[in-house]
Amino acid sequence: MTAASLPFLNAEDLAEAVSWQQAIQALTRAISLSSDLSSGVPRTAVPTEHGELLLMPAESGNAVGVKLLSVAPDNPAAGLPRIQALYVLFDAVTLTPRLLIDGAALTTLRTPALSALAVDRLAVPEATKLTVFGAGPQAQAHVHAIRAVRPIEAVTVVSRRSEPAERLVRELQEHGVQARTGTPDGAVASTDLVVCATTARRPLFDGDRLAGHACVIAVGSHEPDARELDERVFQRAGRIAVEDAGTALREAGDIILAVKAGSLTAERLIGLSELVSLVPDKGISVFKSVGMGWQDLAVAEAAAAAWRPGNS
């Protein structure tokens, strides 16, 4: 099969093929089938003059895949996305290309789906209030993904820029969600769930302001010197979950900097293999995600199984 003849799933095709619940189930299944979520080729970052390229390969028993992702920090000023990506799915045996997927759309599906999986194991079942830091595609998608596992009634959007925040508020209101903008410390003090989906390199709020039962999700960075959460969040948290402890200690600035400061020890980290068997409790909990190639592959395989010729 030539590249020109490969089927391509765009964002709309992907959303039609894989629901939030199906994405969560695909990720849960991948976790249950893997004995080591850190196995495989790690993410490779290649610096370029105007940003960087990221390569994220993965392999399962049925397929091989790779996401090619570009990060160009100056793009938004020119009206272009900061992150653009393409995913290629291959046959596991012949390595024949099978499917192309909009990589940005795939990321916007699998990251919130993994967060929702974590929320389902960590957050109190009656959680109805959500605060989201950020107003981009990840922030928006996290609201919808978490609504698939918790009865969210009210959302507060916190963003450095008012226009994107107000736009997200309007979009959520159109979906029947009570939404408004808010300030960092005021928002986290009165919420059940906090999602951090930003490009921030410093903590977004004062961890002492968190409600005693809050569940915090941080997905904004995979760099060792950037963080969205301060040390108090980790000091107060009873449960701190990551995808994989080794990966988090290598890539997750929130975790790395808290360990360096003495606010967290590696022994306290809960990996996904353990997380999926937990049930919620009433203390503060944290899930820090950096994104891993197996997640893209799990959801890409679900999309390939759901897609039929002529659908796209």
Query: Are residues 100 and 86 in contact, defined by beta-carbon separation less than 8 angstroms?
Result: yes
Residues of the chain below pLDDT 50: 312
Cα–Cα distance for residue pair 185/208, rounded to 1 Å: 9
With contact defined as beta carbons under 8 Å apart, do 179 and 155 qualify? Answer: yes
In CATH, which of 3.40.50.720, 3.20.20.100, 3.20.20.140, 3.40.50.300 is domain 113-292? 3.40.50.720
193-196 sheet: strands from edge to edge:
178-181, 154-158, 129-133, 193-196, 215-218, 285-288, 239-242, 269-270
Those residues with Cβ within 8 angstroms of residue 47's Cβ, 6 or more apart along the chain or in another chain = none
Q: What is the pLDDT of residues 242-276, one digit of tens each?
A: 999 999 999 999 999 999 999 999 999 999 999 99
pTM, whole model, 2 decimals? 0.94
Same fold, 3-106+294-306 and 113-292: no
pLDDT score at 231: 96
Tens digit of pLDDT for each residue in 88-117?
Answer: 999 999 999 999 999 999 999 999 999 999
Question: Is 3-106+294-306 a domain of CATH 3.30.1780.10?
Answer: yes
User: Rounded distance, CA 235 to CA 233, Å?
Assistant: 6
pLDDT at 307: 82
Provide, for the chain, the percentages of residues in helix, strand and coil under a 3-state DSSP scheme, each rounded to the nearest 5: 40, 25, 40
pLDDT given for residue 4 in this prediction: 59
- pLDDT recorded at residue 296: 96
Beta bridge partners of residue 69, listed in sequence order: 54, 85
Residue 312's pLDDT is 45
Say what the pLDDT of residue 1 is.
Answer: 53
- What residue ranges do the domains of the chain occupy? 3-106+294-306, 113-292
